[in-house]
Amino acid sequence: MQVRTVLAALAALLLLLAVVPQEPRSEHDLAAGDGQDHASPAIAVDRDGPRNEIEARPDDHVGPPDAATPVTDHDDEAEDTEDTEHREDGASGTDGAGSGAEVEDDHVATRGEPQAVYRYDVEFRGEVITGTDDFSETTARILTDARGWTLGGSVAFQRSGDDPDFTVVLASPDEIDAAHEVCSRDYSCRIDHEILINDRNWREATAAWREVGGDLVTYRRYLLNHEVGHFLGFGHVDCGEDGERAPVMQQQSVSTQECEPNGWPLEWEREELAQQLDVTVTG
């Protein structure tokens, strides 16, 4: 009788333990190693075109985990391949595909010592038609212009192949389409620290841009500043007031809505970057 009583008690205890919920393992416990393979953190992907079904989710815009931290040592001797003196040589562009109309590509030099420095490099991927030297020079001119994310001179963008903060990649539509499931051959795309610029759009802009009379020089400024803006932590925004210049973070490749085509970040966009980096807008 006593043996049966003990066995019955043990059976009841085992049944009780089986139905008591276990405490969930914390992320810290999982990170400490439990012999399982765990998914790596999601990579940040943005593009200047419309979102597809894969992107249509609450967290479809994922900026850098922390907006990219620039080098802030003023004495850092990173390779700088762009002359930041004021240039008026005005490389020419066209106002649309094959129109041949020249548009002045002016450059406004920055002033003063930078308070923050980003290093970037330029690469080429796939069969691109744009000249590599022309693309590299235009990229440098846009990134170092006082009207852009330089904030007049408090932020510097210096080309360097030595551990760059981000890389501007001129890529064929096929290469962009294959780069990530949310990228499209019809638009440009950013994947973490790689900014993939669509070679076809760089040469022709998009149909939506041409339909509103946007010129190619302004489009190139928009395209590069838009994708670099994603790298800096900005998401997409809409047109403000009808007839105003479009924010650079608006998806102007798709539609300028009721705004005017624009290639430079608006003042409020520049002020937001200044607050983010704790620097001042100097011009």
Task: Indicate the SS3 state at residue 15.
Answer: helix
Instruction: Write the single-letter amino acid at 91.
Output: A
pLDDT digits (tens, 9 = 90+) for 167-190: 999 999 999 999 999 999 999 999
- Residue 61 is encoded by which pair of tokens? 């815009």
Contacts of 63 (CB under 8 A, 6+ apart): 44, 230, 233, 234, 235
Q: How far is CA 33 from CA 24, 28, 30, 73, in A?
A: 15, 9, 6, 37
- pTM for the model stands at 0.69
Q: How far is CA 142 from CA 45, 149, 238, 265, in A?
A: 22, 9, 23, 12
Greater confidence, 175 or 100? 175
Residue 50 pLDDT class (50, 70, 90 cuts): low
**Segments in the chain forming alpha helices (H):** 2-19, 27-32, 132-143, 173-179, 199-204, 207-211, 216-231, 267-277
Q: Tell me, what's the pLDDT at 90?
A: 32
- Residue 59 is encoded by which pair of tokens? 């967290």
Residue 21 pLDDT class (50, 70, 90 cuts): very low
Average pLDDT of the residues in 33-57: 40
pLDDT digits (tens, 9 = 90+) for 253-282: 999 999 999 999 999 999 999 999 999 999
Task: Indicate the SS3 state at residue 222.
Answer: helix
Average pLDDT of the residues in 213-221: 97
Q: Domains in the chain, please, with CATH?
A: 70-277 (3.40.390.10)
List, as own/partner pairs, every contact residues 39-43 make where C-beta atoms lie below 8 angstroms and the sequence separation is at least 24, other chains included: 41/65, 43/180, 43/191, 43/192
- State the average pLDDT for the chain: 75
Q: How far is CA 252 from CA 22, 66, 170, in A?
A: 52, 26, 19
142, 195 contact by CB (below 8 A): no
Contacts of 108 (CB under 8 A, 6+ apart): 86, 145, 146, 147
Greater confidence, 183 or 1? 183
pLDDT digits (tens, 9 = 90+) for 129-147: 999 999 999 999 999 999 9
